[in-house]
């Protein structure tokens, strides 16, 4: 039996007629960039996230850059995030001209440890970006409390957490600005690149709309030095179709997470914890294992494909060596790095595939 890490073909088969006709519509209308399909999706997504505004952007990385630019983050500023994230979070800070400053994670949630946040704030801190990693929201209340006290805006990196809840509230609407990625493998994925910025603030929304389109709201009149970060019509149309299925797919992921828990019970594999304040949407099902590299090879031989999110934390990446962090700078993040393993996870994964995967894991450990 083959178990892919993700299987976008399986998902497409369940929505083929809707997707094909939505894409054909955009081609017939020739509204290839922004246009009606994107405008409709923006409204639907804003309403899904319980916010006033949603702006379609050409990627999650660009969404973070647009959000930082809208908050006037610039050279000489510092922006706080965690070292346990995809490099795009830090890259966006760098592209805005600022310096990334890291705060270690909590071992249980893999997200920013709010108790370590205040110490990282300086007079130069212009924004804080907690990441809702793997699909589980960061502990936002204490983060927002500290940020409010210091009058620093918070941007959620919700690239992995579409539809996740923090104390019954959707991510993307928990702070001043939310940023999403619609990279194809995400819980809500486009058929190409895509992203969004969400906010309740009219001024930020207006600025992001302009920044993504060359700093302009009227053709050939430019208020700001912007960029070309517009979402394509075909992606808007695909995302509208897929948004209607998102809750069902997230429920499927949650059911699969429970099946993994059931079949791994009593084994030496440590399954992820769902924090009491969160509804996790399992973009990634991250377990902790011993002898990881050997296990990965063993599973590959059994036609089971896994991944590591992420093998090297940002502060130890060559690209960020100039920041001067060393091994030992963030012990909790580093302590997880050699043990984390992402098991196959998507809504269409079958119980047989999960049972086969966990049987193979038990076989490897002789359990
Ligand atoms: C946590 C996180 N932030 C930002 C991004 C960037 O999104 P994109 O790949 O759409 O640019 C990703 C996507 O991979 C991500 O996982």
Instruction: Give 159 Cα–ligand 1 centroid separation in angstroms.
Output: 5
How far apart (Å, rounded) are the C-alpha atoms in residues 101 and 8?
35
Q: How far is CA 49 from CA 45, 54, 169, 247, in A?
A: 6, 9, 8, 12
- How does 230-267 read in b/e, with b if 16+ C-beta sit within 10 Å? bbbbbbbbbbbbbbebbeebbebbbebbebbeebbeee
Dihedral, CA of residue 282, residue 88, residue 132 and residue 237, to nearest 10: -60
Residue among 82, 94, 110, 160 whose CB has most ligand 1 atoms within 8 A, to mutate: 160
For residue 133, which atom of ligand 1 is closest to its CA? Answer: 1
pTM here? 0.98
E strand or H helix that includes residue 343: strand 340-343
The CATH 3.40.640.10 portion of the chain extends over 8-243
Residue among 60, 67, 172 whose CB has most ligand 1 atoms within 8 A, to mutate: 60
How far apart (Å, rounded) are the C-alpha atoms in residues 180 and 174?
13
Domain over 8-243 is classified CATH 3.40.640.10 = yes
For residue 47, count other CB atoms closer than 10 A to its CB.
Answer: 12
Write out the two tokens for 334.
């580093």
Name residues contacting ligand 1 (CB within 6 A): 59-61, 85-86, 88-89, 131, 157, 159-160, 181, 183, 195
User: What pLDDT, on a 0 to 100 scale, did the predictor assign at position 193?
Assistant: 98
How far apart (Å, rounded) are the C-alpha atoms in residues 118 and 103?
9
User: What pLDDT, on a 0 to 100 scale, did the predictor assign at position 199?
Assistant: 98
How far apart (Å, rounded) are the C-alpha atoms in residues 115 and 350?
39
For residue 194, which atom of ligand 1 is closest to its CA? Answer: 10
User: What pLDDT, on a 0 to 100 scale, did the predictor assign at position 86?
Assistant: 98
Instruction: Give 265 Cα–ligand 1 centroid separation in angstroms.
Output: 32
- How does 331-341 read in b/e, with b if 16+ C-beta sit within 10 Å? ebbbebbeebb
Pairing, β 99-102 against β 78-81: parallel
E strand or H helix that includes residue 268: none
Peptide bond into 85 cis (omega under 30): no
For residue 276, count other CB atoms closer than 10 A to its CB.
Answer: 6
- Burial classification of residue 58, based on how many CB atoms lie within 10 Å of its CB (0-12 exposed, 13-18 middle, 19 or more buried): buried
Residue among 181, 187, 192, 212 whose CB has most ligand 1 atoms within 8 A, to mutate: 181
Q: Cα-flanking dihedrals φ and ψ of residue 147, to 5°?
A: -60, -40
Give the pLDDT of the chain (367 residues) as one tens digit per residue: 999 999 999 999 999 999 999 999 999 999 999 999 999 999 999 999 999 999 999 999 999 999 999 999 999 999 999 999 999 999 999 999 999 999 999 999 999 999 999 999 999 999 999 999 999 999 999 999 999 999 999 999 999 999 999 999 999 999 999 999 999 999 999 999 999 999 999 999 999 999 999 999 999 999 999 999 999 999 999 999 999 999 999 999 999 999 999 999 999 999 999 999 999 999 999 999 999 999 999 999 999 999 999 999 999 999 999 999 999 999 999 999 999 999 999 999 999 999 999 999 999 999 9
Nearest CA to ligand 1 atom 14: 86
Write out the two tokens for 102.
């890291």
Pairing, β 195-199 against β 53-57: antiparallel
Where do we find the tokens 């194809």?
184
The CATH 3.90.1150.10 portion of the chain extends over 246-365
> What's the fold here for domain 246-365?
3.90.1150
For residue 19, count other CB atoms closer than 10 A to its CB.
Answer: 17
Write out the two tokens for 294.
């050997």
């Amino acid at each position: 039996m083959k178990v892919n890490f993700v299987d976008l073909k399986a998902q497409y088969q369940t929505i083929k007629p809707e997707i094909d006709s939505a894409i054909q519509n955009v081609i017939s209308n020739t509204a290839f960039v922004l246009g009606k399909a994107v405008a409709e999706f923006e409204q639907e997504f804003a309403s899904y996230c319980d916010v006033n505004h949603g702006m379609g952007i050409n990627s999650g990385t660009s969404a973070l850059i647009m959000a930082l630019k809208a908050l006037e983050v610039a050279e000489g500023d510092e922006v706080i995030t965690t070292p346990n994230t995809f490099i795009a979070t830090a890259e966006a800070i760098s592209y805005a001209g600022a310096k990334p400053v890291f705060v270690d994670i909590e071992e249980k949630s893999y997200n920013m440890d709010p108790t370590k946040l205040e110490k990282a704030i300086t007079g130069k801190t212009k924004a804080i970006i907690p990441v809702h990693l793997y699909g589980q929201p960061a502990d936002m209340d204490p983060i927002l409390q500290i940020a409010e006290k210091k009058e620093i805006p918070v941007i959620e990196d919700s690239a992995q957490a579409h539809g996740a809840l923090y104390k019954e509230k959707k991510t993307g609407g928990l702070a001043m600005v939310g940023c999403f990625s619609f990279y194809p493998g995400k819980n809500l994925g486009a058929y190409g690149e895509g992203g969004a910025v969400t906010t309740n603030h009219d001024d930020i929304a207006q600025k992001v709309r302009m920044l993504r389109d060359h700093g302009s709201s009227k053709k050939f009149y430019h208020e700001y030095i912007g960029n070309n970060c517009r979402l394509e019509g075909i992606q808007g149309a695909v995302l509208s179709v897929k948004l209607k299925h998102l809750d069902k797919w997230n429920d499927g992921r949650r059911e699969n997470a429970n099946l993994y828990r059931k079949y791994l019970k009593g084994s030496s594999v440590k399954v992820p914890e769902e924090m009491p304040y969160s509804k996790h949407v399992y973009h990634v099902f991250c377990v902790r294992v011993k002898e990881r590299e050997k296990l990965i090879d063993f599973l590959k031989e059994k036609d089971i494909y896994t991944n590591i999110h992420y093998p090297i934390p940002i502060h130890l990446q060559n690209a960020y060596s100039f920041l001067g962090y060393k091994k030992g700078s963030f012990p909790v993040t580093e302590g997880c790095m050699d043990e984390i393993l992402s098991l196959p996870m998507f809504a269409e994964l079958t119980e047989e595939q999960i049972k086969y995967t966990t049987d193979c894991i038990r076989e490897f450990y002789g359990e």
